[in-house]
Amino acid sequence: MTLSHSRKDFPEDFLFGVSTSAYQIEGHQFGGAGSTHWDTFAATPGNVVNAEDGAVACDHYHRWPEDLDLIRDGNFDVYRFSASWARVLPEGRGTPNADGLDYYDRLVDGMLERGVKPALTLYHWELPSALSDRGGWTHPDVAKWFADYATVLMDRIGDRIWSTATINEFWCVSWLSHFLGIHAPGLRDIRAGARAIHNVLKAHGMGIEAMRAAGHNNLGAVFNLEYTMPSENTDEAKRAAATYDAIFNRTFLGAAFHGTYPDEMLSGLEPHLPVGWQDDMATIRQPLDWCGINYYTRKIIRPVPGPFPAHEEIPGPLPKTDMGWEIFPDGLTHFLTHVAKTYSGDLPLYVTENGMAAPDVLDNGAVQDDARIAYLDAHLGAVREAIAQGAPVKGYFAWSLLDNYEWALGYDKRFGLVHVDFDSLDRTPKASYQDMARALVRT
Ligand code: FCB
C-alpha cells in the first residue's frame, strides 16, 4: 500500500505537518514542571487504562533533537506542538520555571534550524493542579489566568512562532472532561460542564486579545468536529442528533465566529451558565487569522429517555479504527466546505489533526501499517475534494508524529507515524512515515 496523493496534487502554498502535544510526549517529570490535573486523574484508580500517566511518555524533553530530525527528514513543512502551562508556570500563575521557558526556546530554535515552521498550541489539556484546586475551568478567573500564561510564554518565544492556537478542542476541555467525566478532571456535573464551555471560550477570547495587544500575529484556534447523523429518520432521532451536533460542533464555532450559542445548547445549559454570560460573547468573538479543524470520525446518535441532552451514541456499520471510530472521510470534505461557508469565510483552514490508531507491531525492525496509509490517503483525497469545491484549505497535519500517551487509554492506542517502544523509548519509522516522506518530497 502506498499513498496515491502527493505534494504536487495540492496548491503550491499548501503546507504539510505533523501534530503532537506536550503531556502526551514530553515526560512531565522532567525539567521542573508543576503537577497537572492529568497526573492526579491518572493516579486515581479506574480513570486511565493501567493507571498510566505522562511522567516519562516519549521522553521528548530529552530526545527532541532526534524527533525534530524525523520531522525534517519526513519532508514536513510545519510542526504543530503544544506547550505545557505547568512547565511554564508550575503553580499556574506567579513565578515562571526558567528551565521550562529555556526548553521551549531551544525547541523552537531547533525547528527553525531544520527549516520547520513552529505551530504552537497554548493549551492541549494539562491544567496546572494549583488551578484545578481552585476550580480550574469552572473558576470565573480562569480566562484571565490563561491570558497571563499566554503572555509569559509568548514574551519568550512569540518572536519565532509561525502560528499560535489558543485552545486545542474546546469540546474535550469542557464537555468530555466536566460533564461526561472521561478526561481530567473527571467531573460529571452539568453546571460544571456549562461553565467550562463558557470559560474555555472566554479564555480563548482573552488569550487572543492579550496576544494581539503584544503584537503577535497568525492567531487561531482548533476545533474538533464530528459528523453527526440520526439513528433513524424520525423527528425524535433528528432532534437528538441536532442536540449532539449543537454541543459538539456548533457551540464552539458559533461562539468563536458569531458570538452566539445555538438554541439547542441554550435549551439545556442556559440555566447553568454564569450570570451575565451574554456580556462575554463580544470578548469570545475575536477576529482570527485562521481556523483549525481536527477530524477523525462521525457519530450516529439516538434519543434516550431522561433529562437533557437525552441522547447516546450507537456503533455504526463502517470499518473502524482501533479506537472504535468509524472511518468516514466524506465528513472531512463536509466540514471544510461547511465551516468556511457558515463560520470562517475566507480565512485559511487547516486540518490540524487527522489520523488513526492501529495495533501496530514491530516486526524485524519495521512496522507495515497499511491501514494507516489507507486512512491518510482517503482523508487527503477528502481534502482535495474540499479544495476542488472552493474551500480555502491551506494545510494538513497528521496525528501524530509518535506513538504517545493517548489520555484515558494510556499507551495502548498507537497513532504514530513513528513507532515508540515504551521500554527502550527507541523510535522506528513506520511504513506510513516512509511513504509520507516520499509523497512530500519537494521537487
Ligand atoms: C484528539 C486530541 C489528541 C489525540 C487525538 C487522538 O482529540 O487532540 O491529543 O488524543 O485526539
The whole-number average pLDDT for the span 33-37 is 98
Going by pLDDT thresholds of 50, 70 and 90, the confidence category of residue 327 is: very high
Cα separations in angstroms, 317 against 298, 320, 378? 11, 9, 18
Buried b / exposed e across 19-33, counting CB within 10 Å, b at 16+? bbbbbbbbbbebbeb
- pLDDT, one tens digit per residue, over 403-442 is 999 999 999 999 999 999 999 999 999 999 999 999 999 9
Q: Distance from the CA of 225 to the center of ligand 1, in angstroms? A: 12
pTM here? 0.98
How far is Cα 86 from Cα 215, in angstroms, rounded to an integer? 24
User: What contacts 353, CB < 8 A, 6 or more positions away?
Assistant: 19, 80, 222, 224, 294, 295, 296, 397, 398, 399, 400
- pLDDT, one tens digit per residue, over 264-314 is 999 999 999 999 999 999 999 999 999 999 999 999 999 999 999 999 999
| The amino acid at 218 | N
For ligand 1, mutation pick of 124, 183, 353, 372 (most atoms within 8 Å of CB): 353
Question: Is 169 marked active-site?
Answer: yes
Ligand 1 atom with the smallest distance to the CA of 406 is: 10
Q: Distance from the CA of 279 to the center of ligand 1, in angstroms? A: 32
For ligand 1, mutation pick of 82, 169, 252 (most atoms within 8 Å of CB): 169
Q: Distance from the CA of 219 to the center of ligand 1, in angstroms? A: 21
Contact predicate 415/403, CB 8 Å: yes
Residue 120 backbone class (left: φ over 0; alpha: ψ -120 to 50; beta: rest): beta
Catalytic residue among 52, 169, 226, 326: 169
Q: Which helix (H) or strand (E) holds 192?
A: helix 190-213
- Residue 329, φ and ψ in degrees, nearest 5: -60, -30
Q: Distance from the CA of 168 to the center of ligand 1, in angstroms? A: 9
Q: What percent of the chain has pLDDT over 90?
A: 100
Residue ID of nearest Cα to ligand 1 atom 10: 406
Does the pLDDT of residue 59 top 90, yes or no?
Answer: yes
How far is Cα 10 from Cα 394, in angstroms, rounded to an integer? 9
For ligand 1, mutation pick of 399, 411, 412, 414 (most atoms within 8 Å of CB): 399
- pLDDT, one tens digit per residue, over 247-272 is 999 999 999 999 999 999 999 999 99
Q: Distance from the CA of 24 to the center of ligand 1, in angstroms? A: 9
Q: What three-state secondary structure class fits 229?
A: strand
Question: Is 353 marked active-site?
Answer: yes
Eight-state DSSP code of residue 33: P
Cα Rg of the chain, angstroms: 20
Ligand 1 atom with the smallest distance to the CA of 21 is: 9
Count how many Cα atoms sit within 13 Å of the Cα of residue 418 in the half-sphere of its side chain.
Answer: 24
Contact predicate 121/80, CB 8 Å: yes
As a residue count, the chain comes to 443
Q: Which helix (H) or strand (E) holds 374?
A: helix 370-388
| The amino acid at 77 | D
How far is Cα 269 from Cα 309, in angstroms, rounded to an integer? 9
Does the pLDDT of residue 443 top 90, yes or no?
Answer: no
CA 144 to chain centre: 22
Residue ID of nearest Cα to ligand 1 atom 9: 21
Q: What percent of the chain has pLDDT over 70?
A: 100
How far is Cα 325 from Cα 311, in angstroms, rounded to an integer? 18
Q: Distance from the CA of 80 to the center of ligand 1, in angstroms? A: 13
- pLDDT, one tens digit per residue, over 314-326 is 999 999 999 999 9
Alpha helix locations (H) across 20-80?
22-25, 37-42, 60-73
Residue 116 backbone class (left: φ over 0; alpha: ψ -120 to 50; beta: rest): beta
Ligand 1 atom with the smallest distance to the CA of 357 is: 6
- pLDDT, one tens digit per residue, over 138-181 is 999 999 999 999 999 999 999 999 999 999 999 999 999 999 99
Other CB atoms closer than 10 Å to residue 122's CB: what's the count?
A: 25
The DSSP code sequence of 278-334 is: GGGHHHHS---SEEEEEEEEEEEEEE-SSSTT-EEEE--SS-B-TTS-B--THHHHH
Eight-state DSSP code of residue 232: S
Q: Which of 292, 390, 308, 375 is nearest to 341 (CA)?
A: 390
Other CB atoms closer than 10 Å to residue 140's CB: what's the count?
A: 12
Grid cell of 64 as nine digits: 527532541
Pocket of ligand 1 (CB under 6 A): 21, 24, 168-169, 172, 224, 294, 353, 399, 406-407, 415
Ligand 1 atom with the smallest distance to the CA of 323 is: 6
The whole-number average pLDDT for the span 377-390 is 99
How far is Cα 437 from Cα 388, in angstroms, rounded to an integer? 24
How far is Cα 204 from Cα 210, in angstroms, rounded to an integer? 10
Does the pLDDT of residue 353 top 90, yes or no?
Answer: yes
Catalytic residue among 126, 226, 264, 353: 353
Ligand 1 atom with the smallest distance to the CA of 355 is: 6
The whole-number average pLDDT for the span 18-29 is 99
Where does residue 12 rank: exposed (0-12), middle (13-18), buried (19+ CB within 10 A)? exposed
Q: Distance from the CA of 21 to the center of ligand 1, in angstroms? A: 9
